[in-house]
Amino acid sequence: MSKSGFRLSEFFAENMGDFFIFLRRFADDVLETSAESLEQILNFITVFMGNVERMKNPHLRAKLAEVLEAVMPHMEPLAPGAAQPIVFQRERVFCSYVHAPQLAEALITVFVDIEFTGR
């Protein structure tokens, strides 16, 4: 891949990351209603997060871990009387994700790399 190809994929990864983190904070219900597309996001994260050759920028690889956290179904306790968000579709996508072992390996790899390099 050419050097400009890396810039394009890193540019795309940064914008995608910002978008999904934004959705998690301000429009979480959009993530639930688009659960069918989340598998594609999980594929992108799996391919790029754990592989230094595909994504050289360590900050972007760490951002993909943030994206993973943003799209995951959250089961955090809520204040009494607060409405429980619906996360059934996202939970279904995560539970049936075919490449879950590779995703787990990519997640471990990015955090080990951060520990060893200090970035």
- pLDDT number for residue 17: 93
- pLDDT number for residue 113: 79
> What distance, in Å, lies between the first and last C-alpha atoms of the chain?
25
∠ Cα 22 28 31 (to 5°): 95
Give me the tens of pLDDT residue by residue for the chain, a chain 119 residues long.
Answer: 555 555 667 888 899 999 999 998 998 888 888 877 899 999 999 999 988 888 888 889 989 999 999 998 876 665 566 555 566 788 888 889 999 999 999 999 888 877 776 55
* CA dihedral sign, ordered 44, 87, 19, 34: positive
- pLDDT number for residue 119: 53
